[in-house]
Amino acid sequence: MNLIAATPPPPYYAVIFTSLRTDKENGYAAASKRTVELAILQPGFLGVESAREDLGITVSYWESLEAIKNWKQQSEHLLAQQRGRDYWYSAYKTRICKVNATTDLNG
């Protein structure tokens, strides 16, 4: 997987998940990996980028708000969300925005 997602020309949507971890592992690494594997299989998924130090930021890209809604309700993802609230995160925020334009090194 590339570190920077190769997305199509806009418009599309971004889900920005920003988090602070607790010190509890409780299967976090495996669940995080599995969550990405599941997202890739979802209709409307376009890509994902993630970085973590003290602050974690994961940005996933989607074709539509409907695709995001369906992903949020995916059964294993629902379980991961609950485990995140119960064990893994001391704080988090999810933001959804529409991408109208992009630039890169080529302009």
Which residues does 24 contact at the CB level (< 8 Å), separation at least 6?
Answer: 87, 88
Distance of CA 85 to the CA centre of its chain: 16
Full domain range(s) for residue 55: 12-99
The answer to the question of residue 55 being in a domain is yes
The answer to the question of residue 5 being in a domain is no
Q: What is the pTM of this model?
A: 0.92
- Report the DSSP pairing between strands 12-21 and 89-99: antiparallel
The answer to the question of residue 3 being in a domain is no
H/E segment holding residue 91: strand 89-99
CATH classification of the domain holding 20: 3.30.70.100
Count of the separate structural domains present in the chain: 1
Residues 47-102 pLDDT 10s: 999 999 999 999 999 999 999 999 999 999 999 999 999 999 999 999 999 999 99
